[in-house]
Structure 1
């Protein structure tokens, strides 16, 4: 029975999602705004219930966050292909014996210095690790999106289950009420016959007992309907103190022509369309690229680096000549025949040592360089090898998950197909039973009116007919939606 209901739930979802049913509540004033936690409209369609549940469901919201996070990882992996650039500056103040950063000589004074560097590095080759990481994250994003769709389908199935239970409860309540109405009409007629002395009082008592049983059936059907409504509201994550009705779906009497597609044909189409299977396959491809990413760490890395730098020191001085005076500067010494050294002088302009301006130092100390970097991994504690092994294990796990997903899908299709055939047989047999019991009830009612049978025999005939009609309604929904679930697996449009 649980499997049968599941087929019905999926079919119900597809009917509304594909737009095959009529949504009246969308035009109802004060209709529910999805996600606000209250039901303001008096009638809701299945599509509206699904929209509310999907906006309120926590798992769907978590799945959307997973998609957003995976998308961010993809963007970052693409940005990692671009060069990196950094600017660094330092400003220091020191006293006592220091090294002048400009002249690299010791000085005995307080120095205020600044150092400024700009560096840019571009990776030219690293075993295609960066490119494979981009491809891997792209597949992971697609897998997350498919998994989100699968979660949305699961939520839709849950809502459809409870929606169908509500519809079934409503139908069963109407059937129970009609049964009671028929019994009341017969009871009134029997009351007149007993009063006229044309029928025994025992017949009247039997009909009163039958009416009491019908009223109990109404109470039970109402309780079942109330529980179904509570379950539907809980599936939508809405408080249960809401007054609403579900929109009925017009399902005509089904035909009983054999289903043309085989189990293998249905499976072949479903394996190419369901998001669960697509997501599992994308995870396998992503894991395979993870192995290639891990292998990339075994290759050398080639990078190009550029550097710009300059510095400033408050200890720096520069000579400022003064044209009005001259000074003698010793150039070198000449050794004479007597062994004495004679200095050779040069007259140079006189001047003073002035402070070296800040921006002049920045311009004069400017330095630029370009480097080609080769980094060869020799031994890293087997980190790269272990990374490859871990990636291969992840790949094998993803492959097993994809295989299990297909196995479960095949089993679900086989079960759905078997249930569809069983539902067809049940509907055919129940339909024949109802026709026979209707004729039997008509005969029993005529004989009761003629006094040929007692009320007990009449009640038995009526009860049998009522139960058969209720079973026919359930068999009708059961068979129709079992065929729709098979259509769903084949990505067929749903129509009635």
Structure 2
């Protein structure tokens, strides 16, 4: 009976344990499913898709398309229609006798006219070319805005990952200092260590605790900056994937001239300077064309209906007057700009100077782009070498810290030696993390100058 009762109790306990395990597993599974770790590509894509700056640039691009369509429509004839009604009283001209008399009349006029530009000094053609160029520039400006925002997001993302890593390093350092402090206190109770050693490690624990708090504050600031770049709601959680990919830091001999040659032709920064130069050329040509005579062809047709309101005779019918009073005209208009307050001359000088400014700006932009390409390649190679050396330094500092700690416990080293060795290890770990992040960023930047998009397409 005793065995049977124990068996029943054991079965109940097993069922409770099994049920608790299943519920716990389901809770953990649900929690994990709800969490999302944002990768760099996820953050950049979200920033690009939700950026007000990109949306505003899209609206500007739509305006450029409307202006292009208007420039095309300017080649076509302009047409206008007018209808007028006029009631005259007192002394007025009688259209039938062409004399003044004192009467009341009603006049209803209709007209239709058209105008065709024949020669405008090339203004219409250059306006059309400017519209086409601006449409391309608007599309390029959208891509440039996306790329600039993606680069800013990448920098903010790297800061978050870095400070997340330093928090982990600082927490490990604090835990190690607390364990050493505990051992030192026990040794002090046994008479193996003095109070000075205990005070030294208490100060070290306090310093490590402050360092951890400081790194947490820096992380919160970096996370807020990342949310700002992404236009992400600040009240929502944002878990960043801090797992760095395995990278083999191998130096590669890149042909900087080839990378710059491709970037000069295809990078949005260089294309933007080129489009601005083209726009300045077309505007300068239009200002010169405004100095030339302009020729237009005009044509029109008009008719009217007249009625003397005080005449006893009945007026002619509306249909007969509408037909008999009809008149047509054809003509050419030539206008010569003689003097308009020097406004055309001023515009000519303004757009000529704008053209020269655009030429200098393009030269400056290309030079900066070349420097950026060269600097990115040099930085990538430099960070690769530094990361290799820093990895070795971390291993050496870790070994040195373990040896120093063991010797301290044996009484062969002072607490100050342990503190110095520990700080060296902490600094080398933080530097290694920084070099890895900078190498990854510079590698992505070099690939960007080669033509690889910053934001990868979503699978």
Shorter-chain TM-score bucket reads 0.7 to 0.9
SS in 2 for 1:355: coil
The alignment status of 1:160 with 2:154, answered yes or no, reads yes
Alpha-carbon distance in 2 for matches of 1:424, 1:96: 98
The alignment status of 1:477 with 2:418, answered yes or no, reads no
The alignment status of 1:379 with 2:373, answered yes or no, reads no
- Partner of residue 416, structure 1: 376
- Partner of residue 305, structure 2: 312
The alignment status of 1:297 with 2:290, answered yes or no, reads yes
- Partner of residue 113, structure 2: 119
- Partner of residue 18, structure 1: none
SS in 1 for 2:107: strand
- Tell me, which stretches of 5 or more residues in structure 2 are unaligned? 1-31
Q: Return the TM-score normalized by structure 1.
A: 0.75
SS in 2 for 1:82: coil
Query: Which of the residues 414, 421, 425 maps onto 2:385?
Result: 425
Classify 1:234/1:255 alpha carbon distance in 2 versus 1 (closer, same or farther; 3 Å). Answer: same
Classify 1:59/1:100 alpha carbon distance in 2 versus 1 (closer, same or farther; 3 Å). Answer: same
- Partner of residue 273, structure 2: 280
Alpha-carbon distance in 2 for matches of 1:396, 1:403: 11
Alpha-carbon distance in 2 for matches of 1:209, 1:387: 73
Alpha-carbon distance in 2 for matches of 1:43, 1:431: 27
Classify 1:28/1:305 alpha carbon distance in 2 versus 1 (closer, same or farther; 3 Å). Answer: farther
Alpha-carbon distance in 2 for matches of 1:354, 1:213: 112
Q: Which runs of 4+ in 1 moved over 6 A?
A: 493-496
Q: How does 1:380-399 map to 2 (within 5 A)?
A: 380=339, 387-399=347-359
SS in 2 for 1:121: strand
Alpha-carbon distance in 2 for matches of 1:254, 1:46: 16
SS in 2 for 1:439: helix
Query: Which of the residues 135, 139, 143 maps onto 1:141?
Result: 135
The Cα shift of 1:312 comes to 0.9
CA RMSD in angstroms, aligned pairs only: 3.4
Query: Which of the residues 442, 449, 458 maps onto 2:402?
Result: 442
SS in 1 for 2:86: strand
Alpha-carbon distance in 2 for matches of 1:186, 1:483: 41
Alpha-carbon distance in 1 for matches of 2:247, 2:418: 31
The Cα shift of 1:202 comes to 5.0
Query: Which of the residues 220, 225, 229 maps onto 1:231?
Result: 225
Alpha-carbon distance in 2 for matches of 1:434, 1:73: 61
Q: Is the 8 A contact 1:102 1:311 kept in 2?
A: no
Structure having the larger proportion of residues in helix? 2
Cα-to-partner distance string for 1:402-461 (whole Å, 9 max, x where unaligned): 111112112223333333343233223212211222222232233344444344333332
Alpha-carbon distance in 2 for matches of 1:167, 1:492: 23
- Partner of residue 491, structure 1: 451
Alpha-carbon distance in 1 for matches of 2:344, 2:428: 71
Query: Which of the residues 75, 80, 83 maps onto 2:74?
Result: 80
- Partner of residue 368, structure 1: 328
Classify 1:107/1:243 alpha carbon distance in 2 versus 1 (closer, same or farther; 3 Å). Answer: closer
The alignment status of 1:150 with 2:110, answered yes or no, reads no
- Partner of residue 168, structure 2: 174
The Cα shift of 1:107 comes to 4.9
Query: Which of the residues 57, 64, 67 maps onto 2:61?
Result: 67
Q: Which moved more, 1:59-68 or 1:153-162?
A: 59-68
The alignment status of 1:218 with 2:178, answered yes or no, reads no
Alpha-carbon distance in 1 for matches of 2:269, 2:146: 11
Cα-to-partner distance string for 1:199-223 (whole Å, 9 max, x where unaligned): 5565444433332222122111112
SS in 2 for 1:272: helix
Structure having the larger proportion of residues in strand? 1
Classify 1:67/1:492 alpha carbon distance in 2 versus 1 (closer, same or farther; 3 Å). Answer: closer
Q: Is the 8 A contact 1:102 1:312 kept in 2?
A: no
The Cα shift of 1:230 comes to 3.0
The Cα shift of 1:493 comes to 6.2
Q: Is the 8 A contact 1:302 1:372 kept in 2?
A: no
The Cα shift of 1:190 comes to 4.2
- Partner of residue 332, structure 1: none
- Tell me, which stretches of 5 or more residues in structure 1 are unaligned? 1-26, 30-40, 319-351
Q: Is the 8 A contact 1:427 1:475 kept in 2?
A: yes
The Cα shift of 1:372 comes to 3.7
Q: Return the TM-score normalized by structure 2.
A: 0.80
Q: Is the 8 A contact 1:317 1:355 kept in 2?
A: no
The Cα shift of 1:471 comes to 1.4
- Partner of residue 7, structure 1: none
The Cα shift of 1:81 comes to 1.5
Cα-to-partner distance string for 1:2-29 (whole Å, 9 max, x where unaligned): xxxxxxxxxxxxxxxxxxxxxxxxx976
